[in-house]
Structure 1
Amino acid sequence: MEKMYKVKFPLDQSIETALERRQAAEAARKARIFNTRLRVMGLDLDALTKQTQEKKHRQEMERERDKAFDTLRLQHDEVLLQRDRQERKVREALHAGLTQFWNIQQRVEDSSDADLKCGLKGAVTITVPEAELGPSSMQIFQGEDVGEAQRKREQMKQTERDLLTQRVQQERRCLEDKHKEMLAEEELLQQDLSWRQQHNAEEESRKAARVALDRYNRALATERAERLKEAHRREEGENLAEKWHTLTSAMMTEGWDAAVNQLQDAKASMRDSWKGMSPEQISAIYRAREEQCIERQRCRDMEKNRDAAWNSWLQKASGEAQQEERRWSELRRAKQIQEEQFNLQLAKEQQAHQRYLDKELYTNKATPEYFCQFNTTSR
């Protein structure tokens, strides 16, 4: 029979990892739920902190970028200045080298015609005895270039004439340039003068236009004032004529004849054209006034009788209302007494029930450990 040995298999790390992850999530959830400030105010401090850090990081990056741009700009300026200095040095070195090359390699004394240009100063020095030299070594023969002095004088004169011509041409060019500058200045002065004249002419035209406009406005104002005066005079004349017509018209005479129309109908008389009345109309008015007084007195008597009846009815109704009010007051008082008795009975019952709750029902009070078992998890 084979023996059975216990083999300890390695635990699954994923289970422990999942358990730790759930415990960490539970702890984070508790921290969020049981934090009164976050739960009541709804602030996400992590998000706010992250936003603040991102903003500071962005500002820092912008400052670094600006500094980098400034540094790069300074470097570019320094490189350009260094390049300019190098180019200047290269040009100076090239010029110095060229000058040195001219001085060393292209001297006048080393040219093939140095003996002619420098007066035999640059000629090759003969170190060999003259008796050993052949005809080919000779440079100047007897009788050669007889008119050299005359030719040199002519060349010098020609050079002087060329220099004089060049100086005259240069002076002429200077004079022409000065003349051109003078003409340009005169043209500018002429343009300035013409512009000033044009400006003065425009200013004069504007002044003349303003003066004409002022005159026209004054003429319009004068004409308007005359029209107003004329209208005022015409209105005063019309008012005076109307007053005179009113004073001299038949309306002010209070005549009966002026009140009768063309059909001689007294009932259809023009009552707006006169103030007087006929005796028949006056007597009719008196009769109508007496009738109106009688009718008014009768209305007053009827109104007094009606007021007396109304006052008696009001007194009667007031007495009945007072009696009804007293009856309702007694009923309310009785109802209030009944409610007070009912409230007393109800209070006694509630007190008895509270004593029962305190002394018989709720005798086992909860301990602090009982309340500590709540809100221990986030679920």
Structure 2
Amino acid sequence: MRGKVSEHGVKSFCLADLSTFLMLKPYLPVDLKEAAVLQRRRDAEQQRQSRVFDARVRNVGVDKDALDHQIQDRKTRKETDNKRQEAFDAQMVQNDKITCLLDDRQKEDIQNLNKAINDFRLCLQQKEDRREFDLYDPQALKKDLPARVSDDDPRCTVSGVQKLLGEDLTENNRRKAQQEQLREWSLQQQWEQQKALEDKRLADGLYDKHRIELDKKAMELQRMEEKAKRHVCTFTKEFNKVQAEESLARRKFKKQQEEEDNSVEISNLVEGDLLSENPAQAISAFGPHRIVTDRWKGMRPEQLEEVINVQQQQIQEKMRLKEEERQRQAEWDRRRVQEARAMVLLERQQKRQEKELRKEQDHINLQLVQAHEAQKNYLNKEVFTNPPTDAYFHQFNTTSR
């Protein structure tokens, strides 16, 4: 009895201890660690409530820090884009300036080129330099030659009576020119004759030296050629001697071999199967079923009869094979017709089954549509008859949890 405790006693003891603990709680020592944990939880709950119930900070499903970070990144990216755009604009302005400078330089180059062309035309392409300028030259008559330039003028014809036969108006000048010309010709001939003699002496000397050198070379070549001929004759003599000995030995060996072959051939013909008419001589070396045509003496009667029997057997076998092939083909045709008929019947049965399945599916779809309409009417008329009021929505956001 002492070891057993009733359930009522245990409950009364626990309640007594709990009441005693509550009464003595203010006088018990405080656990600082547990108190710090409780205080930290209270502070976290207050901070959470301040964040949740503050409309300026709270955004349902959105992280404000991440949004602020995104806004800051967007601003930074926008500033970077602005700086890049400014750099592009500066580069564009610089390129425009360079383009303007290049355009001005090109215009200046074109202007200089046109000026140079005009200067070239003024200096080197004047009208006096044209080939047809003599046709419309205003000073043509002034520049034209007079009617007579000299006695040798070809324009002085007989009909013009500018010069008569027998006249020699420039006789003195002509004689002086002829004398001067004769003197020059004489001096020229003397100088040419002396130069020709000097050239001839020099050429003769060079020719003599060259002829002596050629004679020496010809003698040396002649000696070398004679020496080479002697060597060639000696070598040819030795070679011919060796060839003659080898030819004599070959002829002797060939004659001896030919005599041996003739004796062997005579003995083979005398003792061979050709003259003895041996039937086995027609059998080929490739097998007993083959013969040598030039030694064959003809077929025996039993062989001919055997050939005819084999041919008859082959004809009958061929006819039997043709009949079997015809029967096999007829059987295949009959089976093909039966299979085609079965396929047509199977296709008709499949179409009927598909038609029945389509009717059943349409009936099931109609039942589903009717059930859906009934469920929709039930929900709209009986289930959703009590719409929520403002009090239902005001119960939210009362706690942070």
What is the TM-score when the length of structure 2 is the normalising length?
Answer: 0.27
What is the TM-score when the length of structure 1 is the normalising length?
Answer: 0.29
Choose between structure 1 and 2 for higher RCO, CA contacts under 8 A separated by at least 6 residues: 2
